[in-house]
Amino acid sequence: MTVIQDDSIEAVFTTTQPRHVDLVRTLMQDIRNGTPPVGELLPTEAELCAKWNLSRYAVREAVRKLCDLGMISRQAGVGTRVIADRPQTRYVQSMDTLSDLIRYAQGTTLQVSARKTIQADDAQAALLRCAPGVKWLHIAGVRHGDDAATEPIALVDIYVDKAFSQLPQLAKTLGTPVYTMIEEQYGIKMTRVEQEVQGLLIEGEQARALQVKTGSAGLRIVRTYFVSDKAIVVTTGVHPASRFSYSMTFQLAPAAA
């Protein structure tokens, strides 16, 4: 997980050339002054190259750093849009294997706000891959970075099959994935994880809890953990798009001769 905060901005620039730094700082100041305002497009790469007498590569590096700071967003065929007038705290989760989920949890904490046994209704049954009426342990909470005083990363809901819900390690603050607690407590091993990433607008109580404006863009990540073909754990996380991005690497094997 990578965290970029206002007080570490200088460190972001230490590996760049001075002209890159000048361009980034000038664009940051322009954006803070409302030129262009949030929601509008930056000048094109060609325009920035001509104005600053920089190569296209140099301009792209400057734009990339502003993206890393959560101030702009690039979209193919549209342009580079201003999404914030100052650097944002941003969490980047990179995952190549299931063990990366453990590292993510160790770099964050889940503050548990509710824990109760539920009987799945029709909507929950569809999410949990079970019949309506089946009992699950439902854990709800807010995920933060190492410092719980920082802005929330996500609203989290965890559902555990009732047969695997006796977990002595459960506490008000969790730094370990629940699925690993189950593996250790019950001597089983998750054999498959399915993941779905959905776009959504964060509104109402969710927006208040995540400290974002209602209608803000967000990501909902649903993970279902299986032992053989049985779903044991299902987790959902609602993330503000301005604070979270998700990166995966696929290693492609060469085609057989």
Domains and CATH numbers, the chain: 2-82 (1.10.10.10), 90-247 (3.40.1410.10)
Q: pTM for the full model?
A: 0.61
pLDDT digits (tens, 9 = 90+) for 138-176: 999 999 876 666 789 899 999 999 999 999 989 999 888
Task: Say which residues have a Cβ less than 8 Å from residue 6's Cβ, sequence separation at least 6.
Answer: 86, 87
With beta carbons less than 8 A apart as the criterion, state whether 42 and 80 touch: yes
Say whether pLDDT at 8 is over 50: no
pLDDT confidence band for 113 (50 / 70 / 90) = very high
> How much is the average pLDDT of 71-83?
85
Helix (H, G, I), strand (E, B) or coil at 229: coil
**Separation of alpha carbons 5 and 49, rounded Å:** 28
> How much is the average pLDDT of 180-206?
92
pLDDT of res. 107:
66
pLDDT confidence band for 248 (50 / 70 / 90) = low
pLDDT digits (tens, 9 = 90+) for 218-236: 999 999 999 998 999 999 9
* Residues forming a β-bridge with 159: 138, 234
Task: Say which residues have a Cβ less than 8 Å from residue 86's Cβ, sequence separation at least 6.
Answer: 6, 28, 32, 71
pLDDT of res. 41:
92
**Separation of alpha carbons 162 and 176, rounded Å:** 19
pLDDT of res. 48:
93
Which residue bears the tokens 């001075």? Answer: 18
**Separation of alpha carbons 2 and 25, rounded Å:** 21
In terms of DSSP bridges, do strands 230-240 and 173-174 run parallel, antiparallel, or are they unpaired?
unpaired
